[in-house]
Each structure stands twice: as structure tokens, then as C-alpha cells.
């Protein structure tokens, strides 16, 4: 038996098998995996040879970068061109002019991790401007060290384990929901999907589950259809009503928090004259006032868990619901107890809250980057459009670098960035864009030098996930398509042109690196109290399960037991409900305590105006596998499908399966309609990940495939974190009359097959 793995699951196969088979002990295999193999073998989507953009060869300086043909070249020519550009830009402008833009997610395997391979070469060759944080949860990454004294990663490692929640929790209040759909996925791979069974256990034991969000999704229990972007107001109102009734846990607030008096004065209206009571929140959130009062009366004294999804903070002022959620959990005093308290990210990945041992498995060794310049990850368009301009970030005033070379490896910003029309304009600014990619994504189509990379099914690797109880040897499933090479081989050849091959490879081929990393893993296992087999045995067997893997954790347990002996790494050593450090920054969009700040777009909407929800898709990971069988089968008329309330559709004269046009001041897109009553009537839910396909239609730029980021707003959620605000977006909807334009993403760009 052989094995392989992806971010959406692990699989086994024998030689000659037609399909991959999920591991037999995975209770709920991912839907995404059903389209993986077909996407890898789709020759219409795959990049089959190195290619160079014709306009770049002609010296157009990026003018035609968003709509051009390509010339195929040899690998020798392609790697020589890439090395030459790297050297030219570094010698002419300095290393800060090079942006290493990979965003990860391309491979589960720990060696063939595209971002690590790229950064290794760029660091060895002189350094590069990098990025900080993630599109997934940038607001939390910057905020949590201030208010929790932990990084987001450390908090997710330690938050209440699912088995303890299932055993102890009496009421789970879930802002943004706990989704089985997003729980298909885990970075670095997963051998099991257990979130669904955990929720079923909670429901069966009689736990009261309340899902608060504009669409019901797969939620069990009660559903509160809140107006998008207003969760902070609801959280503050719950705090107000509990305090007004004298039911707050004053002992916990005094022992374990700082700044409570400042927050209480704001919530009660002492500081601004506006009590943040249930009536106030009901109007903002479009929820019944009695429901808010009833929940506030129900929560005190219960073993409660306040859970927030990652998507909640991908919005204008995204820090505020996270901070207000912590405030509510502190008022209830359940933090530090088994299975209760405060949580962030359940269901956003399958492994968040997993009750397994955390094993610090090795990854590809890093080379220090000599360049200290960086940008917040979601500010790439700003950096390209405004070099030399200043911006605020995390208490600093920083300056955008002047980026001349962008190198993207294993990622697709024309999927995950906002306002893609604006990004297209920004993308014309660098002198050169180099992309390592396996498929003709929108980013690859907008590159100057395209280096075809293998998929994980075309190479051997190791699946190590510190939150997963299984380690797999990922065996090659099929031969590389066309002339595709793995990223290590690509960068090794470029390093050769730079006289850096020995430093880059350390004298190892792929097999040598896998053996080296396995040796490191054996040391990790020994320190953890168990033994791994030798490399050849592991490769032959393909799978190793960590013994005695079950382990449960309780966030802040030691701190709550003795705050003086185990202080947190915050400014006061306690959970901060008012943070003096943030307050001194004097940020209008992120004050010193949780605050209701209306989003830049939102509120009550009219007949043809809707809040846009752009969550993760069910049939693919981000934009990966969009041209695989499962994602293609989920489309209607070849387009992405938007969920639409029947009453809203009736107002617009739209029927199930028909095509609509969504518009904002930033752009417009087409999508098909699926009717469902499981969402607010003033909302449209259009998943991300349809490959970006803008076309000129009747003289207007129109994205025709259904990519919501043609519509979304490219603005930082605050001057603290500068995270993205994808979920703050209001669109106009109208029925599309006539035949929709043919898609262009289903065929590769025009290619001249001759040597440059």
C-alpha cells in the first residue's frame, strides 16, 4: 500500500488503482479530495513547459501583463532568465526591491513546500522583502499578543480541546459558526476529519448550541441570523445586560483581567452617553431584543464557551469582535476551566481544538533573510501602487518599499486578494514577475517568466503535521505532466547560475533531503518518548501512527489557577480588556478597548442591494482544484454559484440556476443562483476560488466566472493589523439577460511553441 496527502485529507492507493482512496479510519473524508487527481491530470489547465510572456521579451515593461501570449522556452533558458533578473534587480535597486510573495498552501509535504524553497534561494542570494501575517486571521495575529499574551498559533495550540468541550460545555455560543465545510482543510495535512462527529456528540448530550451568523450553513441547534459586521454590538450588549443584572463574575474580573473598569464605563454609557444595551444592539444587529436579553439571562452560571470563527475578523474593524468576545468570556468567568471559556477558529481548520499531542516535527531548514523590510500580507497592492509612501501598522509608521521584481511560488493572489481590478493595475508596476506554478491560474497568466512546477501527486515527500497523530510517506502517484519539475529542482538550477547550488542543496538530492528530515524527526520522537522506524522501513510501510496520541488541553489553566505565579505576557500580566499600549497609539479605527465601530459598508439595505458573504468553497481549497472534476461539477453554466434567498430572488425576477450580475464601485462579476432559505434575505453568499476571468463585455470590464474578489474592498481592517476586510462588502444585484460570455479559464493562454 502507498500513501499520499493533501491539505484536505490523506489517501492510499495501489499501483493500477484508478482513484485515490481516503484512509479507512477517516470518519468523514473531504469532498475536495474527489477532484484532486483530475485537476492534477487536466492538461488544459496544467502548465506543460517553461514559458515567457511575449510582451516582456519585447520590452513592454508590464503594459500587457494582464492579457498577453507566451513563448515556450527550454528549462536552461528559463532558469537563466530568472537568475539574470534576480541579479539585475538586486544590483540595480538593492535586495529590498525583490518581493518573495509566496503565500504557502501549495503542498502538504514538508520538503516540497514552495514558500520555503523560494525563500531559501532568495535569502541565500542576498535577501528579499517579505510579508507578515495571513489573509486568514491577520487581525488576531496582531491583536492577541496584546490582549492574551499569546500568538494566535500558540493560542490555537492551547485552546479548549474538542473532547473536553463535548464533555463539559453546557452552552456553546458560536459567532460565525463551526463549519464542517471549512473543517475539511488543515495546513500540513490531516489524516482524519472529526469536527462533524464532535458537534454531533455535543448536540446528543443536550448542549445548547447557538450559531450567530448571516447564513445558517451546516449549523445545528439555534440560528440567530445577525446582520453582517455587527457581532461586536451583540457581544457588548450581552456584557451590558449581564452587568446590569449583577451577574458578572467579579472575582474572575478582579483576579484575571485588567482594564475592566474602563470597559465597563464604555459599555454602560458612562463615557459616551449611550448604554450598549439589548435595545441598542437589536436595532444594529437586526435581532429580537428579547432574544438578546434572554441569552444574557441564561449564560451566567452555565459552563459556557464563546467561540469565534476566523471569518469574523476578516471585516472592517476586525479586531473588535475578537476583543468583545474575550470580554464576554471574562464576564462569564469560564476561562481556564475544562471545555469552556473562549475559543477562536473551531471548524476554520479541522485540527483547531483537536485533542491530540502536539509534536514539533521538522521542516526544511531556514536561511536567515538579510533584509528586514516587510509588508503586511494583505497590503501588496498598496505597496506596488504607492512605493515610498508611509502607512501605519502595529504602532509603527512604516514606508512601502519600491518593488521591482515579484516572485510568486505556490500561491495565487488573484484568488485571495481583494479588489482584483485594483490588483491588476498594481501588477503592471514591477519590472518583472516570476511565477512557479503547476496550472494556468490568473497569477500565472499575469507572469513574465512562468516555471512549471509539479503537483504533490508527482513527487515523493513527507507529511508532518504537529497536530495530527499520523505521519505519512507521500509516494509519487503519477509521472510529471509535460516538462514540470519540483520547486527544489527549479531553484537548484537557478542557484547553479548564481554559483549557489551547493549552498542551496547542501549536497543533497530529494531523497537525501527526505532522509535528512526523517533523521531529524527521529530525534523529535525520541525526545517525545517514542521511536520512529528507520527511513527505509518507513518508506516501505508508508504510515506511522504516534502512540498514545490523545491529549486534552485547557487554555489559561495555570494562569487562572495562580495569576501571580503564571502571569501572561501582556502589559499587566493579565487578560487586558483595556490595553494601554493600544490606547497610546490613538487609532481611530482600533481604540484601547472593544468598541462598536460601524463598518465602512453595511447597514440596512434596499431591494437590489445585498451584503456579500465570500466564504470558503466546498468543492476545492481556495482556488486549488478549481479545474478538477468536483469543482467543475458544482458549477452551473460553468460559473460559480451564489446562494440567494427565494424572497430576494423573487424581487429581482431571478429563478434557480439563472445567471445574475453583481456590481460594486470596484467591479462586477457574473454568477449562477442557488436558492436557499437558510440565509438572510439581504445577503448573497458567493464562495471564493473561481479562477479570475475578467473580459471586456459591451465595453465594460466584467469578471465572468464568479470570483467575489472582483467586488470586495481592498482596505486594512485597522491601522493596528492592516488585515483584509473581505466580508465588508455591499453589492448591487440584477438578472443577466442573454447568453453569458464564454469562459477563458478552461483553456491555456495562447502559446508560441518555439525557443525565445
* Helix, strand or coil, per DSSP, at residue 507: coil
Is pLDDT at 756 greater than 60 in this prediction? no
Query: Do 100 and 128 contact (CB within 8 A), yes or no?
Result: yes
The whole-number average pLDDT for the span 744-749 is 85
Q: Beta-strand (E) ranges in 535-666? A: 543-545, 575-576, 609-613, 641-644, 659-664
Out of 3, 103, 135, 266, the active site residue is 103
State the average pLDDT over residues 71-95: 98
The pLDDT of residue 747: 79
Q: Which DSSP string do the residues of 712-753 spell out, in sequence order?
A: S----S-TTT----TT--EEEEEEPPSPPPPPSTTSPPPEE-
How many whole angstroms separate alpha carbon 490 and alpha carbon 486? Answer: 6
Q: Where residue 754 falls among pLDDT bands split at 50, 70, 90? A: low
Cell 492574551 appears where? Answer: 148
Cβ partners under 8 Å of residue 756, min gap 6: 52, 57, 71, 73, 77
pTM more than 0.85: yes
346 catalytically annotated = no
Domains in the chain with CATH codes: 2-32+48-129+374-466+470-545 (3.40.50.740), 138-356+553-584 (3.40.228.10), 609-735 (2.40.40.20)
Question: Residue 576 pairs with which residues in a beta bridge?
Answer: 258
Confidence of residue 256 (pLDDT cuts 50, 70, 90): very high
Q: Identify the pLDDT of residue 746.
A: 78
| Over residues 121-140, mean pLDDT | 97
Task: Write the pLDDT tens digit of every residue in 96-108.
Answer: 999 998 777 878 9
Are 634 and 676 within 8 A, CB to CB?
no
Which listed residue (8, 105, 198, 240) is catalytic? Answer: 105
Average per-residue pLDDT in the chain? Answer: 96
> Confidence class of residue 246 from pLDDT cuts 50, 70 and 90?
very high
Cα gap 148→42, rounded to integer Å: 46
Residue that has been written with the C-alpha cell 537563466 in this structure: 80
**Percentage of residues of the chain with pLDDT beyond 90:** 95
Q: What is the DSSP letter of 87?
A: H
Q: In what helix (H) or strand (E) does residue 209 lie, and over which residues does it extend?
A: strand 208-212
Per-residue model confidence as pLDDT tens digits over 554-594: 999 999 999 999 999 999 999 999 999 999 999 999 999 99
Q: What is the mean pLDDT of residues 212-231?
A: 94
No. of helices (H) and no. of strands (E), the chain: 26, 32
Structure confidence at residue 577 (pLDDT): 98
| Widest Cα–Cα separation across the chain | 78
Q: Which of 534-538, 620-624, 715-719, 750-754 has the lowest mean pLDDT?
A: 750-754
Q: How far apart are CA 671 and CA 16, in angstroms?
A: 39
- Please tell me the predicted confidence (pLDDT) of residue 217: 83
pLDDT at 398 over 50: yes
Q: How confident is the model at residue 748 (pLDDT cuts 50, 70, 90)?
A: confident
**What b/e sequence results for 631-647 when a residue is b if at least 16 CB atoms lie within 10 Å of its CB, and e otherwise?**
bbebbbebbbbbbbbee
Please, what is the angle between helix 231-244 and helix 260-268, to 10°? 100
Amino acid at each position: 500500500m502507498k500513501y499520499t496527502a493533501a491539505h484536505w485529507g490523506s489517501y492510499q492507493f495501489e499501483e493500477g488503482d484508478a482513484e485515490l482512496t481516503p484512509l479507512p479510519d477517516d470518519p468523514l473524508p473531504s469532498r475536495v479530495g474527489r477532484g484532486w487527481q483530475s485537476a492534477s491530470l487536466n492538461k488544459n489547465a496544467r502548465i506543460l513547459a517553461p514559458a515567457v510572456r511575449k510582451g516582456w521579451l519585447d520590452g513592454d515593461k508590464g503594459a500587457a501583463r494582464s492579457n498577453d501570449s507566451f513563448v515556450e522556452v527550454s528549462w536552461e533558458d528559463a532558469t537563466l532568465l530568472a537568475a539574470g533578473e534576480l541579479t539585475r534587480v538586486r544590483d540595480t535597486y538593492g535586495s529590498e526591491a525583490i518581493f518573495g510573495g509566496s503565500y504557502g498552501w501549495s503542498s502538504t509535504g514538508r520538503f516540497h513546500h514552495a514558500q520555503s524553497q523560494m525563500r531559501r534561494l532568495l535569502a541565500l542570494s542576498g535577501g528579499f522583502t517579505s510579508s507578515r501575517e495571513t489573509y486568514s486571521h491577520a487581525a488576531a495575529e496582531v491583536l492577541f499578543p496584546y490582549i492574551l499574551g499569546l500568538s494566535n498559533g500558540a493560542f490555537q495550540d492551547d485552546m479548549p480541546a474538542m473532547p473536553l468541550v463535548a464533555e463539559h460545555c453546557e452552552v456553546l455560543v458560536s459567532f460565525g459558526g463551526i463549519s464542517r465545510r471549512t473543517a475539511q482543510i488543515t495546513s500540513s495535512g490531516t489524516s482524519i476529519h472529526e469536527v462533524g462527529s464532535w458537534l454531533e456528540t455535543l448536540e446528543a448530550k443536550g448542549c445548547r448550541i447557538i450559531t450567530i451568523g448571516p447564513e445558517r450553513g451546516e449549523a445545528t441547534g439555534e440560528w440567530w441570523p445577525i446582520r453582517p459586521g455587527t457581532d461586536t454590538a451583540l457581544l457588548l450588549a450581552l456584557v451590558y445586560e449581564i452587568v446590569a443584572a449583577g451577574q458578572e463574575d467579579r472575582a474572575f474580573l478582579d483576579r484575571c483581567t485588567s482594564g475592566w473598569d474602563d470597559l465597563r464605563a464604555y459599555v454602560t454609557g458612562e463615557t459616551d452617553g449611550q448604554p450598549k444595551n439589548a435595545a441598542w444592539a437589536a436595532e444594529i444587529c437586526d435581532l429580537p431584543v428579547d432574544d438578546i436579553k434572554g441569552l444574557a439571562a441564561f449564560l451566567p452560571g452555565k459552563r459556557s464557551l464563546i467561540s469565534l470563527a476566523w471569518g469574523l475578523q476578516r471585516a472592517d474593524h476586525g479586531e473588535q469582535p475578537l476583543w468583545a468576545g474575550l470580554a464576554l468570556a471574562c464576564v462569564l468567568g469560564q476561562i481556564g476551566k475544562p471545555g469552556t471559556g473562549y475559543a477562536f477558529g473551531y471548524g476554520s481548520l479541522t485540527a483547531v481544538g483537536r485533542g491530540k499531542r502536539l509534536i514539533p516535527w521538522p521542516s526544511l531548514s531556514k536561511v536567515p533573510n538579510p533584509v528586514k523590510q516587510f509588508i503586511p500580507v494583505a497590503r501588496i497592492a498598496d505597496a506596488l501602487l504607492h512605493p515610498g509612501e508611509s502607512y501605519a501598522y502595529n504602532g509603527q509608521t512604516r514606508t512601502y518599499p519600491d518593488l521591482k521584481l515579484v516572485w510568486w511560488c505556490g500561491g495565487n493572489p488573484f484568488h485571495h486578494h481583494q479588489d482584483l481590478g485594483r490588483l491588476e493595475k498594481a501588477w503592471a508596476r514591477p519590472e518583472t514577475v516570476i511565477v512557479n506554478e503547476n496550472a494556468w491560474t490568473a497569477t500565472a497568466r499575469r507572469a513574465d517568466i512562468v516555471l512549471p512546477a509539479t503537483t504533490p501527486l508527482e513527487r515523493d515527500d513527507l507529511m508532518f503535521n504537529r497536530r495530527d497523530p499520523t505521519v505519512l510517506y507521500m509516494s509519487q502517484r503519477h509521472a510529471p505532466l509535460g516538462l514540470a519539475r519540483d520547486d527544489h529542482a527549479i531553484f537548484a538550477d537557478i542557484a547553479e547560475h548564481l554559483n549557489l547550488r551547493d549552498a542551496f542543496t547542501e549536497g543533497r538530492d530529494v531523497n537525501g533531503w527526505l532522509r535528512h528530515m526523517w533523521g531529524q524527526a527521529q530525534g523529535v520522537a525520541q525526545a517525545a518518548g517514542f521511536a520512529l522506524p528507520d527511513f527505509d522501513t518507513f518508506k516501505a510501510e508508508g504510515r506511522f501512527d504516534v502512540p498514545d496520541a490523545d491529549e486534552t488541553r485547557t487554555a489559561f489553566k495555570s494562569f487562572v489557577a495562580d495569576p501571580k505565579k503564571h502571569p501572561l505576557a501582556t502589559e499587566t500580566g493579565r487578560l487586558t480588556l483595556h490595553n494601554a499600549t493600544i490606547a497610546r497609539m490613538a487609532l481611530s479605527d482600533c481604540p484601547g478597548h472593544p468598541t462598536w465601530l460601524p463598518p465602512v459598508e453595511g447597514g440596512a439595505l434596499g431591494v437590489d442591494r445585498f451584503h456579500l458573504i465570500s466564504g470558503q468553497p466546498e468543492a476545492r481549497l481556495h482556488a486549488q482544484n478549481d479545474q478538477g472534476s468536483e469543482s467543475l461539477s458544482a458549477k452551473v453554466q460553468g460559473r460559480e454559484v451564489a446562494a440567494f434567498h427565494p424572497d430576494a430572488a423573487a424581487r429581482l425576477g431571478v429563478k434557480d440556476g439563472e445567471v445574475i450580475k453583481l456590481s460594486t464601485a470596484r467591479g462586477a462579476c457574473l454568477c449562477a443562483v442557488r436558492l436557499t432559505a437558510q440565509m438572510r434575505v439581504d445577503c448573497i453568499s458567493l464562495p471564493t476560488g473561481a479562477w479570475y476571468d475578467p473580459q471586456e463585455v459591451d465595453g465594460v470590464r466584467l469578471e465572468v466566472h464568479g470570483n467575489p474578489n472582483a467586488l470586495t474592498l481592498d482596505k486594512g481592517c485597522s491601522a493596528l493589523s492592516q488585515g483584509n476586510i473581505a466580508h465588508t462588502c455591499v453589492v448591487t444585484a440584477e438578472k443577466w439577460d442573454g447568453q453569458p460570455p464564454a469562459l477563458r479559464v478552461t483553456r491555456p493562454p495562447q502559446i508560441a511553441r518555439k525557443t525565445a
